[in-house]
A and B are shown apart, each in its own frame.
Chain A
Amino acid sequence: MFVQHFINALGLGALYGLIAIGYTMVYGILRLINFAHGDIFMLGAYFVFFATIQYKLPWGLGVAIAIVGATACGLLVDRIAYRPLRGAPRISALISAIGVSFFLENLAVVIFTGMPRAVVQPPWLMKPVILGEVRLIPLGLMVPVIAFVLVSGLLWVVYKTKPGLAMRSISHDIETTRLLGVSVDKIIALTFALGSALAALAGIMWALRYPRVEPFMGVFPGFKAFIAAVFGGIGSIPGAMVGGVILGFVEIMSVAFFPKLSGYKDAFAFVLLIVILLIKPTGLMGERMEEKI
């Protein structure tokens, strides 16, 4: 029983972590809570749903379409709603982000209708493997492995390539980086693209795990992933992953051991957020941000 909960929590946590990376990268660079990120995740899930279930394309192609589509949406959001506000007060960009999130959710209602749709899981992902008392499905094992591979790849991009160097440089000092000849807007766009692609992948795996898609499916995972990013230390990619996994464990284990608390499941993340903000606002692995006077 415990092993099953363990794998379950690891999978949920890995998904939170993948979404959290998008939040943490954008916040690290622009100091902006990209409220629309959870909705990019939702779009990714919808795209794969339409490609594979509605139009019967093979899964590989469907996943590719979903990633490209969600990435394009992420880039558009940055271009239209955030770039004009680069010089504006931070809260203006935040309100714009809230507007975009609201827009994408309701646009999804308009285009895809508000009805939840069932996702048909491919049978090979669901065939249980029985090890003694533990029943495991390949999907449950795949999610953490894929997440691990993706994060390793991302870390390589951020720490070993030139665009990654530019990203880290922007997060320290955007003006100086611009003076050094880096085209800042392109690097920011790349950040949005990477974050959106990861969110789309998380959306696809989410749609397979909880086999349905609906327009507001991104709201709570989005909030929770942001909380995971804050918990792990905003700006830190490994931190986002650690925060996500911790949050996944808190949610799954508390309900597994105290079933009475299941009604409060969605509140845990917010309680966790408030606690971490009060005790250690920089999160587990975050850098100290000093208040400049």
Chain B
Amino acid sequence: MKTAVRNAFLNLLILGALLGFLWWAPANLDNYKLRIINLIAINAILGLSLNLIYGMTGMFSLGHAGFMAVGAYVSSLLILTVEQKNTMWILEPIAPWLLHLQTPFVVSLVLAGLAAALVGWVIAWPVLRLGGDYLGIATLGFAEIIRILIVNLTPYTNGSLGLKGIPAHTDLWMTYGCFVVVLAFMVRLMKSNFGNVLRAVRDDEIAARTMGVDTFKVRVLAFTIGSFGAGMGGALMGNLITTIDPKMFTITQTYSVLMIVVVGGLGSITGTVIGSVLITVMLEWLRFVESPIRMGAFVVPGVPGMRMVLFSVLLIAVIIFRREGIMGTREFSWDWFFPKPAKTTQTKEARE
């Protein structure tokens, strides 16, 4: 019991440190850095939700961008003002019922998650009957269908023009608040019996079925929860950038979330958090290869596209040389920092 108290205390300490940082950061860091720090939290939410679907439950889904798009559009449409909506829809008039529909940001965030979860749930029924790579290509197909629907349903989405000037409500408190909630939820979930069931479904579906687990239902549920996270993450990202359009939610978006999960370690919550910090920072840092570099009298011109070339080389290298990622399926634990005297003496005695 003593370790439980210790862990609770240490967790509170970390939370306190995070609160302190969030209080300190806005006044002391420039906007660019704040944006990256925000993005880390959003990417962590996206990564955790994909990790639940793929890492924990073993469903190879390539549909994340689709759910993000649903979330981003639902949230943005609910917080845009009436005047903005009136001026933005140029090609076709906006659907009348949508014009006056407005909610506070936090409500829109929850609704975004719910909308994505609903879409995920509807898609899950037909798609989750498939396994392995077929599932991947089918979810990819659905994400593409969602994107094409957004392009074409102009009265509701403003088509390919996208939405601009979304009122920005996202700050560090918002993103990290959501992140901590999602993280705590995931940790609790994976420690619960349902977490064990998910891992059982991933490791051996037939064995799990033999043990009386309704594997299909479990998979649908995990997929729906994951879609909720993706929708919320998409909504936060749209609000952080304040501009969304259908081109933002192509397969490239899914790849970068997949990259976070793979680099961190499939099936590890800790790994996903580390992965989101690493990948977000690296993607920003790599921008330097695309901008001109001055070396004394010489100016090396920036090469557009180079950033993504290096990014994909990294993805291939990780999958070939270190398939389990940084953490494998291991999780962070405070026990790493404390020796276990009781156990070691016991084993010594046993050996003697």
Contacts and interface: CB of A to CB of B under 8 A. Distances in A.
A15 to B, nearest CB: 20
Contacts of B133: 31-33, 90-91, 94
Interface string A104-134: 0111111001100000000000000000000
A267 B320 contact: no
A277 interface: yes
B137 A293 contact: no
27 contacts: A33-B133, A91-B136, A92-B319, A94-B133, A95-B315, A95-B319, A96-B315, A98-B258, A98-B315, A99-B312, A99-B316, A100-B312, A100-B316, A102-B312, A102-B315, A103-B309, A106-B306, A106-B308, A106-B311, A109-B308, A110-B304, A227-B141, A264-B152, A269-B141, A273-B138, A274-B141, A274-B142
Interface string A254-293: 0000000001101101110110011001000000000001
B60 A91 contact: yes
B172 to A, nearest CB: 31
Interface of B: 60, 126-127, 129-130, 132-134, 136-138, 140-142, 144-145, 148-149, 151-152, 206, 251-252, 255, 258, 262, 303-306, 308-309, 311-313, 315-316, 319-320, 323
Contacts of A273: 137-138, 141
A226 interface: yes
A61 B312 CA distance: 33
Given A110-B305, A266-B148, A267-B148, A88 B130 contact: no
Contacts of A215: 305
Nearest to A261: B152
Nearest to B60: A91
A105 B120 CA distance: 29
Contacts, number: 115
A95 B312 contact: no
Contact of A267 (B132, B145, B316): B145
Given A96-B320, A227-B141, 9 more contacts: A84-B320, A94-B60, A102-B255, A106-B306, A107-B305, A109-B308, A114-B304, A267-B144, A278-B129
Interface centre among A81, A96, A271 (most CB of B within 10 A): A96
A110 B309 contact: yes
A28 to B, nearest CB: 13
A274 B127 contact: yes
Interface string A203-215: 0000000000001
B122 to A, nearest CB: 12
A81 B148 contact: no
A76 interface: no
A34 B52 CA distance: 26
A176 B255 CA distance: 36
A108 B312 CA distance: 13
A136 interface: no
A94 B315 contact: no
Contact of B320 (A81, A227, A271, A274): A81
Interface of A: 31-33, 80-81, 84-85, 88, 90-92, 94-96, 98-100, 102-103, 105-110, 113-114, 215, 219, 223, 226-227, 230, 263-264, 266-267, 269-271, 273-274, 277-278, 281, 293
Contact of A33 (B137, B306, B315): B137
Contacts of A103: 309, 312-313, 316
Contact of A110 (B255, B303, B319): B303
Contacts of A274: 126-127, 138, 141-142
Nearest to A105: B308
Given A85-B319, A274-B126, A102 B141 contact: no
A281 B134 contact: yes
B302 to A, nearest CB: 11
Interface centre among A106, A107, A226, A264 (most CB of B within 10 A): A106
Nearest to B148: A267
Contacts of B306: 106, 110
Contacts of A269: 141
B309 A106 contact: yes
A223 B306 CA distance: 24
B19 to A, nearest CB: 37
Contact of A85 (B129, B303, B320): B320
A214 to B, nearest CB: 12
B323 A88 contact: yes
A213 B115 CA distance: 39
A33 B308 CA distance: 22
A148 B142 CA distance: 32
A94 B136 contact: yes
B294 to A, nearest CB: 21
